[in-house]
Structure 1
């Protein structure tokens, strides 16, 4: 090879090298997965080390709160409508810590049996329970709380109801830390000194005082078991919350005592004796902040907050800002109106209830629940009583829906027999054939029975109409706040329109508000907004309404009730000096004794129901009160309340009647047509006169005031047969009153 020249590469070598590269086999799927797994393992190790480090940092940074120094609550404030003036507060925190040795052994054993039977052996955390609760809460399912006593104790110390992965993780870390640093006795002592038992009582010592008026060390087995049951959910198990709560408490106590026997911490015979009955709960003096009507209102608010998902702990000490629908003006009007009209000398056996609801929104603006809350915790504006004839307007609306008109006539004679049942008018009075308008005006029982009988599925239709208008069914269909979710006794019976069922005054006022609002119903409510201590809006009510009855049917029902005030059983309501519609009501129980007296009515701006009852709600009023009809004390009370509540408000007219006239479902109810009067023979005229005189006819008798000549004849009241005097008035309040001058009315449309 010549000098200075490079040797050309050997072609054989080049081909060999290329062949080596070309012949390298590709990685198999198994090799790829192995390589991926190796990287995943490395990543997992790294992340695990990071996680362990993070866990260590969090574990070291989280301190266990001192329950005696850092267990704090914040006042929950309750405001009138508008959110400025304070109505009351949930601020009383009763707490008095005691040592573990002072706590009765029965209490310790009962709580462990009720809340965490593995408490003495577990490590203070339930991983499965945490995962289960976290998934349920994150998915929007039913909220689930802590499983073990240790976890519950952690949640109590931090007073947070946050249900998130972050909170659950922190709870788990704190549970482990507490388990590692505190003994089981320390944990149980802290838990029993901080857990909320209801009635404003935190801890076992305060609970023993609040429920049994004694120190915790003196509790017996039955009392300890009762408190162990109550702490799980005070609103469900506190016997002060009614018969259902009493039944739930006794059932839960039985389960706890069975658990104690299984665990060997209670003797079987002693447990059986303790389960036989509830302990005696003495009457405990209430805090002064609940005095007067404030206590009734605050209890209504508490129940509604619970229904909305807030816990007892949040309500009692979570720093909530609660704006209600109540106005100071309407509340004062209810209280002062009762004081003005209630007869003196009848003591605590006479109960008066008032409820005022705003048409179109369902906002409860004012209530009077009865005697001072410190003397009686029964809220009669919620509990209610037999509705009597105040239920008849719902039957009027149902009858109009079925095809009848206000002019159609029914049998007003007494008695009216249906099967084995006899129905009578007040005083067993006969009225003959009467129009639906007159039947409402004078509260004629037999005419309503006749109409109900001849309506297709009459009782059921009346109930459906009442439900749609705001009166709950016999069995709970929804779960509202303080006032009942049901109307006991509202059953499809032929006499349903006469009002033997129990109705809350709030429900009654709201049902009438539907009529005032042109047939559009809105659910009654008492809470506008709830803001938590961090300023987060937790609840904000949105008004929604629904068409319950047509506007024309509402107008005719309103007009029928207006005749009650103009010339019927409720003429005393003219005293408020503005257009009003209403209905008297007097209910009787078996044996004929009067059990309740009502007057309920409305103007376009406000609907108010007033109820008088005696004793336990069914005591006899006749022979006890000087007058016991709805046109007496209830109507006087209604006047006093409405005059104050509407003072300064614009005077608005009620709706004009539409006189709907459908196809009557049964014949024989045609409007009354009076026979013509005999013609009078004309007197002889001078022969030079070529004019003739037409016979004079007498106009049919009517209970209506003369109506000015109008171009539209549909506003002229229908002819009515003569009616006797007020069938529901024993005082003459509805008799002899001057008939108001006729006026032009304008129709109000539904909101």
Structure 2
């Protein structure tokens, strides 16, 4: 041997030994490791491919999406509002009030405040908020509604170069344009453009117009607090406008403090300044409104705008989106309401007169009168409303008939009516005693005690009246809603024994709609104001769909209507006979906590139109007695109603109202027998008109308990009318007058409740 060691030969492989085992001497991996390596390999390849695709897509999009030309029609995207014909114009929103100024004329506090409010990383970011985009995307995919994720640059791009379209395509385009814009323009140029285009509310676009709209001065003269206020309102111009009420002012104060704290964090003001300035808002001078909002037009445009916001349109889109809004309002009916108030309304100091006309069967608001010129007062009393007094008795009457009572059933007409539960008492006007009166007489002469008795005789008492009112179109009391907008809430509407006497706050619009339910024979329709909205591209963004719901049996609605017709034919609303059309209605007055008349009403209808008229004063709960004489619902309110309806229905077909059905149900309680018929009488026994009237005006307490006499008196109800006899429903002259509300404030026809209302 040569002494060289020969390498050992590998051991022979055992038969059937698995590959990679110790027997082979190989160092092969376990199967799970091989699979893991393979998965990692392909995951890496896939990820790389996706990154490459994403990078290519980014490059392609970045190179293909150019910064477009500024919107050429940005300053002319006016929204037009039309009457129901879609042709006659009511008004316009925001023909843009703008005056562009250089950044050098803008106070530093404006620049610092807007950055603190809208985009605190503005000076250092690349125009995008990636975290915000991811957060918004996750929220949107989870169905939480589309969220924004906009920096100042993105907002500026959307306004000036793109549109307010809510789509992911627009959002992607916005992101790439923003990235390009920060490379083409300096941050100062972007901020200047943004502050000259953004909407601040009150029709003002740009900081200079906003300074004039809020503080009546040019932007260059704004103080630090004023600058912080304007920076605050950008986020929500409606919510943070102090002119919209105490709630908006409180919300603005919180936003204002947030902006000041951001300015302190950036060092533009000291923390001590932020604390001191944040104690209260700066003073806001009185700003005279634009002439385009003069008269009733301003009330209409503001109400329409609120409804558009509720339908989901942003205020910026309303003011600058080029929308075409068709409303339910008819110019003829609007003018009819205004002319009637001007011609027939009282002229007492501090009075507010409001009207509303609703179409039965559709719920369309056809016209209204909101009160003083919008430039003098922005409160729309057709929406704000007041206590409707005895006009609310309609809902107790309907509830009573639905529960099984009939028009023939009688109730307590003597004054006062004492609640058995010890909940006080109700009086008739002048403490008049009527004896037992059927529901026709009780409605005709507005007998308070009879309606209190009816209310407490229902199966669920006052709750049944409340339920009927809400079914027929009166909103419930939504305690979360504050302010003077009562279109969707009725403050104070609670089920107590005096609910039928109308002490809650109800808007004339809703009262008109409640009576329209009777005009439509028991079918209710929701009140609405916006019929159609079309955007600038011609796409229909909203269209109202009419629908009705039966809430009262047709025969019962006809019986209710019959009783209301007697109010006009021979009761407290006879001045409405001048309309010359079949109509039903109800007068009403309400009193405040000092037992002074605070509102006066008449609500009535024909088959084609239902109109409510209200007179109130001051804050809505002050006495009108020193400003309106006479103040009863059968006087000024009825005269206004009659002229408004005559003008609105001029040329329309005269339609009949249905006759009574005299449904006799299963009464829910005893002691409400029909009024007995009168005994035959001789010519010699018939009293004179003066004698009858004397008994009416000076009732004897003992008479209220006597058996019915041969001649009806206030303490003995008249016989139930025969529906087949045309003279029985007030169409023919009668031998003696019935007590009405008109003779004098102390006369027997006016029934007084304590404290809710009169009539």
Are residues 564 and 732 of structure 1, via their aligned partners in 2, closer, same or farther at CA, if it must alter by over 3 Å?
farther
Q: Do the aligned partners of 2:676 and 2:719 also contact (CA within 8 Å) in 1?
A: no
Are residues 69 and 513 of structure 1, via their aligned partners in 2, closer, same or farther at CA, if it must alter by over 3 Å?
closer
Aligned: 1:539 with 2:551: no
Distance 1:606 1:475 in 2: 28
2:238 aligned residue = 235
Distance 1:241 1:285 in 2: 15
* Structure 2: runs of 5+ lacking an equivalent: 1-30, 684-708, 750-759
2:637 aligned residue = 634
User: Residue 636 of structure 1 aligns to a residue in which SS?
Assistant: helix
User: Residue 238 of structure 2 aligns to a residue in which SS?
Assistant: helix
1:587 aligned residue = 590
Aligned: 1:453 with 2:456: yes
Question: What is the CA-CA distance between 1:205 and the residue it aligns to?
Answer: 1.2
Q: Do the aligned partners of 1:472 and 1:487 also contact (CA within 8 Å) in 2?
A: yes
Question: What is the CA-CA distance between 1:728 and the residue it aligns to?
Answer: 5.9
Q: TM-score, normalised by structure 2?
A: 0.83
- Cα deviation code 1:329-355 (max 9, x no counterpart): 1111111111221234x35x2221111
User: Residue 239 of structure 2 aligns to a residue in which SS?
Assistant: helix
Question: What is the CA-CA distance between 1:672 and the residue it aligns to?
Answer: 2.1
Q: Do the aligned partners of 2:324 and 2:536 also contact (CA within 8 Å) in 1?
A: yes
Question: What is the CA-CA distance between 1:513 and the residue it aligns to?
Answer: 0.6
Aligned: 1:270 with 2:273: yes
Q: Do the aligned partners of 2:659 and 2:723 also contact (CA within 8 Å) in 1?
A: no
Aligned: 1:506 with 2:520: no
Correspondence for 1:727 among 725, 741, 745: 741
2:599 aligned residue = 596
- Cα deviation code 1:181-216 (max 9, x no counterpart): 333333322222211011111111111110111122
Are residues 556 and 247 of structure 1, via their aligned partners in 2, closer, same or farther at CA, if it must alter by over 3 Å?
farther
User: Residue 354 of structure 1 aligns to a residue in which SS?
Assistant: strand
2:196 aligned residue = 193
Aligned: 1:402 with 2:403: yes
1:649 aligned residue = 652
Are residues 360 and 138 of structure 1, via their aligned partners in 2, closer, same or farther at CA, if it must alter by over 3 Å?
farther
Aligned: 1:309 with 2:309: no
1:694 aligned residue = none
Distance 1:679 1:625 in 2: 45
1:22 aligned residue = none
Question: What is the CA-CA distance between 1:314 and the residue it aligns to?
Answer: 1.2
Question: What is the CA-CA distance between 1:162 and the residue it aligns to?
Answer: 1.8
Aligned: 1:492 with 2:495: yes
Question: What is the CA-CA distance between 1:394 and the residue it aligns to?
Answer: 1.0
Distance 1:314 1:340 in 2: 39
2:224 aligned residue = 221
Aligned: 1:296 with 2:310: no
Distance 1:298 1:278 in 2: 28
Distance 1:593 1:114 in 2: 50
Which is further off, 309-318 or 599-608?
309-318
Matches within 5 A, 1:373-388: 373-388=374-389
Are residues 708 and 460 of structure 1, via their aligned partners in 2, closer, same or farther at CA, if it must alter by over 3 Å?
closer
Are residues 478 and 272 of structure 1, via their aligned partners in 2, closer, same or farther at CA, if it must alter by over 3 Å?
closer
Correspondence for 1:613 among 612, 616, 619: 616
Aligned: 1:416 with 2:430: no
Are residues 452 and 262 of structure 1, via their aligned partners in 2, closer, same or farther at CA, if it must alter by over 3 Å?
farther
Q: Do the aligned partners of 1:300 and 1:483 also contact (CA within 8 Å) in 2?
A: no
Q: Do the aligned partners of 1:674 and 1:700 also contact (CA within 8 Å) in 2?
A: no
Matches within 5 A, 1:226-375: 226-344=229-347, 346=348, 349-375=350-376
1:24 aligned residue = none
Distance 2:315 2:636 in 1: 40
Aligned: 1:433 with 2:462: no
Matches within 5 A, 1:50-69: 51-64=54-67
Distance 2:342 2:615 in 1: 13
Distance 1:343 1:449 in 2: 31
Q: Do the aligned partners of 1:146 and 1:152 also contact (CA within 8 Å) in 2?
A: no
Q: Do the aligned partners of 2:364 and 2:529 also contact (CA within 8 Å) in 1?
A: yes
Question: What is the CA-CA distance between 1:43 and the residue it aligns to?
Answer: 7.0
Which is further off, 427-436 or 412-421?
412-421
Distance 2:578 2:748 in 1: 12
Distance 2:223 2:365 in 1: 44
Aligned: 1:133 with 2:147: no
Distance 1:530 1:588 in 2: 42
Are residues 407 and 399 of structure 1, via their aligned partners in 2, closer, same or farther at CA, if it must alter by over 3 Å?
same
Q: Do the aligned partners of 1:568 and 1:734 also contact (CA within 8 Å) in 2?
A: no
Distance 2:723 2:636 in 1: 35
Distance 1:323 1:626 in 2: 40
Q: Do the aligned partners of 1:572 and 1:734 also contact (CA within 8 Å) in 2?
A: no
Distance 1:204 1:90 in 2: 19
Distance 1:625 1:699 in 2: 36
Are residues 733 and 120 of structure 1, via their aligned partners in 2, closer, same or farther at CA, if it must alter by over 3 Å?
farther
Distance 1:709 1:164 in 2: 66
Are residues 556 and 476 of structure 1, via their aligned partners in 2, closer, same or farther at CA, if it must alter by over 3 Å?
farther
Q: Do the aligned partners of 1:292 and 1:372 also contact (CA within 8 Å) in 2?
A: yes
Distance 2:206 2:399 in 1: 55
Q: Do the aligned partners of 2:71 and 2:161 also contact (CA within 8 Å) in 1?
A: no
Are residues 494 and 728 of structure 1, via their aligned partners in 2, closer, same or farther at CA, if it must alter by over 3 Å?
farther
Distance 2:721 2:498 in 1: 35
- Cα deviation code 1:251-286 (max 9, x no counterpart): 322333344344444333332332322322222122
User: Residue 197 of structure 1 aligns to a residue in which SS?
Assistant: strand
Correspondence for 1:666 among 661, 669, 681: 669
Q: Do the aligned partners of 1:197 and 1:231 also contact (CA within 8 Å) in 2?
A: yes
Question: What is the CA-CA distance between 1:526 and the residue it aligns to?
Answer: 0.8
Aligned: 1:390 with 2:391: yes
Are residues 190 and 659 of structure 1, via their aligned partners in 2, closer, same or farther at CA, if it must alter by over 3 Å?
same
Question: What is the CA-CA distance between 1:121 and the residue it aligns to?
Answer: 3.2
Distance 2:308 2:90 in 1: 16
Q: Do the aligned partners of 1:395 and 1:497 also contact (CA within 8 Å) in 2?
A: yes
Question: What is the CA-CA distance between 1:159 and the residue it aligns to?
Answer: 5.3
Question: What is the CA-CA distance between 1:41 and the residue it aligns to?
Answer: 6.5
Q: Do the aligned partners of 1:449 and 1:494 also contact (CA within 8 Å) in 2?
A: yes
Question: What is the CA-CA distance between 1:597 and the residue it aligns to?
Answer: 0.8
Are residues 272 and 41 of structure 1, via their aligned partners in 2, closer, same or farther at CA, if it must alter by over 3 Å?
closer
Are residues 665 and 289 of structure 1, via their aligned partners in 2, closer, same or farther at CA, if it must alter by over 3 Å?
same
2:10 aligned residue = none
Which is further off, 518-527 or 366-375?
366-375
Correspondence for 2:476 among 467, 470, 473: 473
Q: Do the aligned partners of 1:707 and 1:716 also contact (CA within 8 Å) in 2?
A: no
Question: What is the CA-CA distance between 1:733 and the residue it aligns to?
Answer: 13
Question: What is the CA-CA distance between 1:219 and the residue it aligns to?
Answer: 2.1
Are residues 280 and 308 of structure 1, via their aligned partners in 2, closer, same or farther at CA, if it must alter by over 3 Å?
same
Question: What is the CA-CA distance between 1:356 and the residue it aligns to?
Answer: 0.5
User: Residue 740 of structure 2 aligns to a residue in which SS?
Assistant: coil
Distance 1:585 1:216 in 2: 52
Distance 1:252 1:230 in 2: 8
Distance 2:720 2:670 in 1: 30
Question: What is the CA-CA distance between 1:723 and the residue it aligns to?
Answer: 8.8
Correspondence for 2:92 among 79, 89, 95: 89
- Cα deviation code 1:230-271 (max 9, x no counterpart): 111112121222222222222322333344344444333332
Question: What is the CA-CA distance between 1:479 and the residue it aligns to?
Answer: 12
Q: Do the aligned partners of 1:477 and 1:485 also contact (CA within 8 Å) in 2?
A: no
Aligned: 1:212 with 2:215: yes
- Cα deviation code 1:291-332 (max 9, x no counterpart): 221111111111111111111121111111111111111111
